[in-house]
Amino acid sequence: MILKIKHTSEKPSGVRNLFLVNDTSSLKDFGFNADALAYVKLKEEAKEKLITIKAYNITYYVVIVDKGELNDKSLEVLRKNGHTITSGMRKDKEEAICVYDSTGNKEAVLALTEGLALSTYQFDKYLSKKDKSFGEFNIWVATPVVNQEDLNELQLLCESVFATRDLVNEPVSTMDVAELSKTIEQLGEKHGFTVEIFNKTKLESLKFGGLLGVNKGSIDPPAFHILEWKPQNATNTKPVVLVGKGVVFDTGGINLKTPPGSLDDMKSDMGGAASVVGALTAVSANKLPVHVIGLIPATDNRPGGNAIVPGDILSMHNGTTVEILNTDAEGRLILADALSYSKKYDPELVIDLATLTGSAVMAIGHYATVGMGTADSTIFDELTKSGYRVNERVVQFPFWDDYDDLIKSEVADIKNIGGREGGSITAGKFLSHFVEAPWIHLDIAGPAFVRKEDSYRGFGASGVGVRLLYDFLKSRS
């Protein structure tokens, strides 16, 4: 599916029309007749904000927004309105729409357009019968409050989300470590960020004990990816480092996942890696003036070969020894080496993203991301505000010293699980042993992959993290 978002000062022909208004009386300026105005007024009195009008073979839409500054919740409603409209157009096999704005509210226009755009995503490459009528979707925007540059930025951001969704939605048979590396290199070449990849021999020389340990059960070698966007006009003197968990498929290892059915969506266990790739793509494609580095350790976790077993002890990149009590707690092992390696860059901030724990899902479901770490409250507040702006919310969990005792080991420095209580927090506590810079851990296990369509986030991979990080980095730059 090809997405195109274009600014227009004219009325394009052969497209559906969408009118964004504060006052329905302004619809007279768009040629609404008395009957149409009466119908809209009736719906408005019934408190409807999205009104669909069908007259013979013509369908058009009216979206009503309150006057004045909109809050985060109102903007999310507009995105969801966009999804409702795109879904209806898909059913009707329509693929072009023009948004006419009479509100003069830039945020409202962009939020509605974003909802339309994000809802066009399809992962249909393996379907024998594809919906060929929805191969290209065109969105025209008629308003003086946004320009083509604004729309280009939005389109590149949406395409970056789509790239992340594609990475996660691909099965491991077609998205193994080698293919992940290839895709990252292609995106880097296209959008301008550099890519360096360490092979197994290099990782052995660097003593990446966590990544190599998890990989021992696989017939495919691991890889470590370094993505960098460093523009000459970067506003930060020290880089922001993003770290993403890249387990391309997680069986649980020797501690095979149970019950049956818990393996079905484990192709999504590289969701953190995919989000970092999407964030670097968005930042570089839109040429944000910020120095960003992405670190992605990648492997699958399988029970074959010489797979690690409970009782094993691994020595990590920074020399910390780890007692393995559960091989299904593998994501933190590969993240640990990457977090330790981030010290090389003397970063101002490190953020990791990972589909790390079921505990995070049990705590808050798919509605938000669990966050914790050592960064100061100012940085957490910035990230929280970005989360509410784009509706990829972050809930900060406590990070008290009390939790440290739960991962102490009798035979090594620490152990890789801390029991059922506070599982998402003890996972974060484990990671804290490997990073020295100000750091935020984002557990995206809940929102990264959804089994039921979730508005413009779609079904399956949501691409969570890309819009959050882009907004956060843009606001800092």
Question: Rounded mean pLDDT of the chain?
Answer: 96
What are the DSSP calls for 26-47, one per residue?
A: GGGGGT--HHHHHHHHHHHHTT
Q: Which tokens is 286 given? A: 């839109």
The identity of residue 421, as a single letter, is: E
> 242 CB contacts (<8 Å, ≥6 apart)?
276, 279, 280, 292, 293, 294, 295, 350, 351, 352, 353, 469
Mean per-residue pLDDT, 207-211: 98
pLDDT of amino acid 68: 84
Per-residue pLDDT, 134 = 66
Query: Please, are residues 3 and 137 in contact by the beta-carbon 8 Å criterion?
Result: yes
Please give the average per-residue pLDDT across 356-377, as a whole number: 97
Q: Which residue has the tokens 């992962």?
A: 123
Residue 1 in this model has a pLDDT that exceeds 90:
no
- Would you call the peptide bond into 310 cis, given omega within 30 degrees of 0 as the criterion? no
Measured in whole angstroms, the distance separating CA 226 from the mean position of its chain's CA atoms is 19
166-181: average pLDDT: 98
Determine whether 257 is an active site residue.
yes
Give the start-end residues of each E strand in 205-286. 223-229, 240-244, 246-250
- List, as one string, the DSSP characters of 98-147: EEEE-S--HHHHHHHHHHHHHTT----TT-SS--GGGSEEEEEEE-SSS-
* Cα(273)–Cα(247) distance, integer angstroms: 8
- The confidence band for 258, taking pLDDT boundaries of 50, 70 and 90, is confident
CB burial readout 201-217, b (16+ within 10 A) else e: eebeebebbbbbbbbbb
Given a cut of 80, whether residue 261 has pLDDT beyond it is: no
Beta-carbon count within 10 A of 280 CB:
30
* pLDDT for the residue 250: 98
- How far apart CA 304 and CA 217 sit, in angstroms, is 4
Give the pLDDT score at 29.
87
Angle between helices 466-476 and 271-285 (to 10 degrees): 40
Extract the tokens encoding 279: 């964030």
Cα–Cα distance between 222 and 211 in angstroms, integer? 7
Catalytic residue among 6, 200, 207, 257: 257
d(CA 460, CA 230): 32
Largest distance between two CA atoms of the chain = 81
Q: What are phi and psi of 451, to 5 degrees?
A: -90, -10
pTM for the whole structure: 0.97
Give the whole-angstrom CA distance, residue 335 versus residue 81: 38
Nearest Cα to Cα of residue 241 among 253, 229, 252? 229
Q: Which of 420, 424, 435 is nearest to 398 (CA)?
A: 424
d(CA 210, CA 317): 8
Tell me the pLDDT band of 425, cut-offs 50, 70 and 90: very high
Report domain extents, the chain. 2-146, 157-476
Position 467 pLDDT exceeds 80? yes
Please give the pLDDT value at position 369.
Answer: 98
What pLDDT, on a 0 to 100 scale, did the predictor assign at position 69?
86
> In the prediction, which pLDDT does 31 show?
86
pLDDT tens-place string over residues 48-89: 999 999 987 889 999 999 998 899 999 999 999 999 999 999
Q: pLDDT exceeding 90 applies to what percent of the chain?
A: 92
According to the model, what pLDDT value does residue 129 have?
82
Same fold, 2-146 and 157-476: no
Residue 133 banded pLDDT, cuts 50, 70, 90: low
Question: 124 and 90 in contact (C-beta within 8 Å)?
Answer: no
Active-site pick, 43, 80, 332, 457:
332
The answer for 471, left when phi > 0, alpha when psi is -120 to 50, beta otherwise, is alpha
Whether the predicted pLDDT of 260 surpasses 80: no
| Residue 132: per-residue pLDDT | 65
Q: Report the range of poorest mean pLDDT among 65-69, 203-207, 434-438.
A: 65-69
Class of the domain covering 2-146:
alpha beta
Residue 253 pLDDT > 80: yes
Q: Which backbone phi and psi does 65 adopt, to 5 degrees?
A: -125, 150
Residue 458 pLDDT more than 80?
A: yes
Helices (H), 175-235: 177-191, 200-206, 209-215
Taking residues 339-349, report their average pLDDT: 98
The predicted pLDDT at position 395 comes to 98
Q: Which of 24-33, 37-46, 127-136, 209-218 has the lowest mean pLDDT?
A: 127-136
Whether 106 sits among the annotated catalytic residues: the reply is no
pLDDT at 112: 98
Q: What average pLDDT does range 268-290 have in this prediction?
A: 98
CATH 3.30.70.120 given to domain 157-476? no
* Residue range 267-281: mean pLDDT, rounded: 98
**Closest Cα to residue 290, out of 280, 278, 300?**
280
